[in-house]
Amino acid sequence: MRRIVFVFLLSLAAAGIFANSAAARKPVITPFSLTGIPATLSGVCSFDVSVSSDLTGTEIDYFDQSGALTRVYVHQVEQDTFSANGKSITGLPFTFTLEVLFDSSGNVTHIYASGLVETILLPDGTFFVSAGRVDFAARPGVSFVISPDEGNPGNVAAFCGALEDPS
């Protein structure tokens, strides 16, 4: 019986050693804080809207056993200021996650943002709130969106109306 227990423990130890050598690299966690990141919101209103974003959060990079990046996960708080036609509105801080996925060749397959997409107290006292999921990989060249692909798009007409030229 003692020999069976010894062989069992030895096999568990060997499995642990080999599993460790084949395991993925430890994730890299990086906090960040960025201020005044510029973007342009196009195709939503009948005019372009300038956007300035302040971001704070944490990025976690995941790697496979060979050290290749397989996934990036970002948890962040964002606050945006929108400007057009001499008007400006600042949204409320909101939280969301961003997940970047890669195929086995290292190419980006999806860039999913999930959670709140934007929260703004509009000048008329109403709220613009959009929430859901966006796949930025399905929107080549687009760096900023105000409504998700899936979920609640928010009252886009009220948002645009708050920045419209009154003349």
Domain limits of the chain? 24-163
pLDDT at 142: 85
State residue 4's pLDDT score.
Answer: 39
**Residues 99 and 71 sit within 8 Å (Cβ to Cβ):** yes
Residue-level pLDDT, tens digit, the chain, 167 residues: 434 333 333 344 444 444 444 567 899 999 999 999 999 999 999 999 999 999 999 999 999 999 999 999 999 999 999 999 999 999 999 999 999 999 989 999 999 999 999 999 999 999 999 999 999 998 888 888 999 999 999 999 999 999 998 77
User: What residues are paired with 28 via a beta bridge?
Assistant: 61
SS3 140: coil
In the prediction, which pLDDT does 111 show? 94
Is residue 121 within 8 A of residue 19, CB to CB? The reply is no
Q: How far apart are CA 167 and CA 164, in angstroms?
A: 9
Looking at residue 18, what is its pLDDT? 45
Name the helix (H) or strand (E) containing 110: strand 108-121
Partners of 83 in beta bridges: 50, 88
Number of helical (H) and strand (E) elements in the chain, helices listed first: 2, 8
Return the pLDDT at 93: 97
Is 48 strand, coil or helix?
Answer: coil
Q: What pLDDT sits at residue 23? A: 65
